[in-house]
Amino acid sequence: MHVPPQRESLPTDGPPWWLVIGPGFAALIGLFLLTVIYRFDGESPLGIDLGMSSQSLLLNGLVAYVVAAAIAFPAGLVLGARFPTSVTMPALALMFLGVLLVAFVPGSGLLLVGRVLTGLGAGAVLGVTVALIRRLRTGRGAATGVAAGLGVLALVAAPVLGGLLSEATGFRVVFVVAALFVLVALVVAGVIGIVTLAKPKHA
């Protein structure tokens, strides 16, 4: 009796491309916030206004952010593929609190806390973004290229745009505007998460 060959099960459980939008947008904001504390000429309106030395700003503003992001990135990478919304939403909440804290910080003492919170959130959403892109069914290469290009653009544009806005209005306005973008990302990620849960799953 001839038994017809069974078709190998294809990996159809990968995420749809639009699921990357929420954490991807948040990751771009996180990359923007990494370098926005400096101006395009290397000076820092934030450091000047808070009376910080360049070494103190480097440690409290940049190194603390990078270390926090590096700590949170593996969690986003491991958990983000299966629970993207559940990881993205708390991460964005941390980013929002951290950015607001930096925006209204009275002095350099609380800057470290704000940057650590923001870095933790940014690292987590970056991990989720990478995890989702790695599991895309189609267009993985294109998504990787677009995400990498936009990420570099965010890192480069932040000192320019942030510096110009800081010169005109002060550094606090820069972080208030960034907080609004984080809030938009929070709403987008929430809506996409709800749509994903409501969408019927095919066997």
Q: Are the CB atoms for 74 and 124 separated by under 8 Å?
A: no
Res. 106: pLDDT tops 50: yes
Q: Are the CB atoms for 79 and 162 separated by under 8 Å?
A: no
Where are the domains positioned within the chain? 20-189
Res. 198: pLDDT tops 80: no
If one compares 200 and 71, the residue with the highest pLDDT of the two is 71
Res. 137: pLDDT tops 50: yes
**Rounded (10°) CA dihedral 49, 98, 133, 36:** 0
CATH class of 20-189: mainly alpha
**Rounded (10°) CA dihedral 88, 94, 95, 101:** 170
Res. 68: pLDDT tops 60: yes
pLDDT of residue 139: 78
The most confident of 33-42, 122-131, 159-168, by mean pLDDT: 122-131
pTM of the model: 0.86
Taking residues 75-83, what's their average pLDDT? Answer: 90
pLDDT of residue 197: 75
pLDDT band at 9 (very low <50, low <70, confident <90, very high): very low
